[in-house]
Amino acid sequence: MARQRTPEGPPPPPAVQKLRIRYAKRGRLRFSSTRDFSRALDRALRRAGVPMAFSAGFHPHPLISYANAAPTGTASEAEYFQIRVTERVDPAAVREALDEALPDGLDVVDVVEAGPGALADRLEASEWRIVVRGADADEVRAALAAYLACERAETTRTFKSGPRTFDTREAVLDARVCDVDEVGCAILRVVVRHTTPSVRPDDILTALHAVTGFAAPVPPLVTRLAQGPLVEAGDGVADPLAADREAVGPGG
């Protein structure tokens, strides 16, 4: 039996602190994929001098974990990831340095020291802003009312395993036309529970078309405004980092 090789040299320094980071994808950077962001983040962490913790083994990698990234092509004000560091750091200083090191459009909004509990467990739902351009607001309201009256509204999406048909309606907790601007844009606010598979804004619009026949005249502009725990009424989303601030306290 072949002997199992072990890496030579000392083990990497242990992690002593975990940080949870909220960032935004804005402007043209909404078209960046998770892989694109990962590469940009790796360079930014080095430029910012963040004392990253690394995994052990023959191919050590920085201890970074991502949570529920928005689809490529959608903007977002509420993307999250976690890092582990080998020295205690000031979260506010990390936010400033990392934001400076990332390209414009990938903007660090908040950094907190992680408290107990898993971040992923708090990301129960997302709030989306969908700008339907060139559409009649009354037509959009009527189509949305018909969609919400349905018990099921299915769509089909292609996954790695192949096409899959699933219901979108149950995941939609709240949807309304919240504003209409002067150039004929109906602005929707939609709160969607996180499910498996995830129900994305484009899934909802596809199902809306299937149920009501309404289709956006041009591709809508989609922004995730928030993701986190559901508020008690079920029609809003709370800050998932609030529990960390309460547990750790000001200044860590």
Divide the 252 residues of the chain into consecutive groups of 10 and give the mean pLDDT of each group: 60 92 97 94 96 88 93 96 97 97 97 95 96 90 96 94 96 90 82 95 96 93 96 85 85 57
Q: What is the CATH number of the domain that holds 244?
A: 3.30.70.580
pLDDT of residue 1: 44
Which one-letter DSSP state was computed for residue 91?
H
The two tokens of residue 88 are 């205690």
pTM greater than 0.85 (yes/no): yes
- CA 28 remoteness from chain centre: 17
pLDDT of residue 183: 66
Q: Are residues 191 and 165 in the same domain?
A: yes
Considering only CA atoms, give the Rg of the chain: 21
Q: Are residues 115 and 23 in the same domain?
A: yes
pLDDT of residue 171: 97
pLDDT of residue 198: 94
Residue 44 neighbours by CB under 8 Å, 6+ apart? 98, 101, 102
CB 74 within 8 A of CB 30: yes
Answer yes or no: is 233 within a domain: no
* Greatest distance between any 2 Cα atoms in the chain: 75
Q: Which domain holds residue 178?
A: 125-228
The two tokens of residue 52 are 């990253």
Q: Are residues 97 and 153 in the same domain?
A: no
Answer yes or no: is 61 within a domain: yes
Q: Are residues 30 and 108 in the same domain?
A: yes
In the chain, the number of structural domains is: 2
Helix (H) or strand (E) holding 202: helix 201-212
Residue 47 neighbours by CB under 8 Å, 6+ apart? 101
The sign of the CA dihedral 41, 47, 52, 57 is positive
Answer yes or no: is 11 within a domain: no
Answer yes or no: is 214 within a domain: yes
